[in-house]
């Protein structure tokens, strides 16, 4: 069993610090459900906002110039009602009119280029004006407007509906922890049990417990416990997902049942690597071959025995086929 603490599967807080700019937009409401990558709120950069205003002013001026140029070009294409002629009857201003029209066309093209450049600049500035904070986890939105003015209060929290239990195993227990294993969670304050599943196991200790110190000297954390005065073994955190709701913050006990049976080593008969035990069936000693596997520091019987089998503790005291009587103690359990 492992002591643990119930917590929300994810609880991410988002603060308005002012480092990215002033608060600008909010994209969510209280109680909304969001997914990773959804926009929550945005900061507004006042300096870039001023650049946007100036760029828009320049664009308005260019739009006006282009409109005036287009009007001039249209006027130049209209037939003249009274046009002076030379002695040969040809228009005196013909060359001047053609030259003026060409200049107008070139000016309009230049204005179009300037407008296009400024429109691209404006689009870039508008993209930079707002720095968007995106959701980093799935869950439900909670908003506290005090967070707009108080940087120590989270403006938005995104909390998940699922509940997990944070716990850890020692180096002597790590062998028993495996992702996908079903466990029982005892909720101490409510005296009830909830089923759960091991989802995440951290099999590496923290860096402070695994790295050598600077200058080639061994870090204190990697020295034996006797040398540092520490008696606690390394903790390997793991997470259990609960099938039912548990109040976050409640203390829990995670219980894990491993397969197999433990027996006194003296009860096991080892013959050239083949292991067996004597059991009593219908008053007769019977030899049963068993299979064993190592779990942590001990070997466990994983095959060949059934629950409540009566195993002879001292196999040297009997022989296969002997008739025996199993006496019961006062508490109802069989004696040796």
pLDDT in tens, 253-280: 999 888 788 888 888 888 888 889 888 9
CB of 311 within 8 A of CB of 319?
no
Mean pLDDT of all residues in the chain? Answer: 79
Between 190 and 226, where is the model more confident? 190
The CA-based dihedral angle spanning residues 44, 50, 51, 55, taken in that order and rounded to the nearest 10 degrees: 120
Give the pLDDT of residue 144. 94
Give the pLDDT of residue 217. 36
How sure is the predictor about 101, in pLDDT bands with cuts at 50, 70 and 90?
A: low
Between 157 and 56, where is the model more confident? 157
- What is the enclosing helix (H) or strand (E) of 141? strand 139-143
Residue 300 β-bridge partners: 293
User: ∠ at Cα 245 (242, 248), nearest 5°?
Assistant: 90
Q: What percent of the chain has pLDDT over 90?
A: 26
**Strand order in 269-271's β-sheet?**
269-271, 274-281, 284-295, 298-303
Residue 42 in tokens: 């945005």
| pLDDT tens column, 211-224 | 433 333 333 333 34
d(CA 281, CA 332): 18
For residue 209, pLDDT over 70 is answered with no
State if pTM tops 0.85. no
Give the pLDDT of residue 292. 82
Q: Is 250 helix (H, G, I), strand (E, B) or coil?
A: coil
| pLDDT tens column, 301-320 | 888 888 888 898 888 888 88
Ranking 65-74, 124-133, 163-172, 178-187 by mean pLDDT, the lowest is 65-74
CB of 250 within 8 A of CB of 190?
yes
For residue 175, pLDDT over 80 is answered with yes
For residue 115, pLDDT over 70 is answered with yes
Q: Which parts of 206-330 fold into alpha helices (H)? A: 225-228
């Amino acid at each position: 069993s492992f002591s643990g603490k119930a917590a929300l599967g994810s609880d991410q807080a988002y603060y308005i610090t002012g480092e990215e700019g002033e608060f600008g937009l909010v994209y969510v409401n209280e109680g909304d459900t969001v997914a990773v990558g959804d926009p929550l709120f945005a900061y507004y950069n006042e300096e870039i906002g001023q650049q946007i205003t100036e760029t828009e002013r320049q664009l308005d001026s260019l739009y006006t110039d282009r409109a005036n140029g287009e009007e001039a070009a249209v006027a130049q294409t209209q037939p003249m009602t009274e046009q002076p002629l030379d002695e040969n009857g040809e228009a005196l201003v013909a060359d001047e009119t053609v030259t003026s029209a060409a200049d107008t066309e070139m000016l309009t093209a230049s204005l179009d280029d300037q407008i296009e450049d400024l429109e691209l600049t404006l689009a870039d500035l508008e993209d930079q004006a707002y720095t968007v904070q995106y959701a980093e986890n799935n869950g439900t939105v909670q908003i506290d407007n005090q967070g707009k003015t108080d940087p120590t209060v989270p403006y938005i929290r995104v909390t998940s509906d699922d509940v997990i239990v944070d716990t850890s195993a020692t180096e002597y227990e790590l062998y028993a922890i495996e992702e996908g294993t079903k466990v029982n969670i005892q909720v101490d304050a409510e005296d009830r049990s909830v089923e759960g599943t091991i989802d995440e196991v951290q099999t590496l200790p923290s860096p402070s417990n695994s790295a050598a110190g600077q200058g080639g000297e061994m870090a204190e954390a990697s020295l034996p416990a006797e040398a540092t005065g520490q008696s606690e073994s390394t903790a390997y955190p793991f997470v259990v997902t609960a099938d039912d709701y548990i109040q976050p913050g409640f203390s829990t006990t995670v219980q894990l049942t491993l397969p197999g049976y433990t027996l006194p080593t003296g009860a096991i008969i080892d013959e050239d690597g083949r292991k067996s035990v004597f059991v009593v069936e219908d008053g007769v000693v019977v030899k049963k071959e068993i299979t064993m596997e190592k779990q942590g520091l001990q070997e466990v019987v994983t095959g060949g025995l059934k629950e409540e089998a009566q195993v002879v503790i001292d196999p040297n005291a009997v022989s296969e086929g002997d008739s025996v009587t199993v006496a019961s103690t006062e508490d109802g359990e069989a004696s040796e």
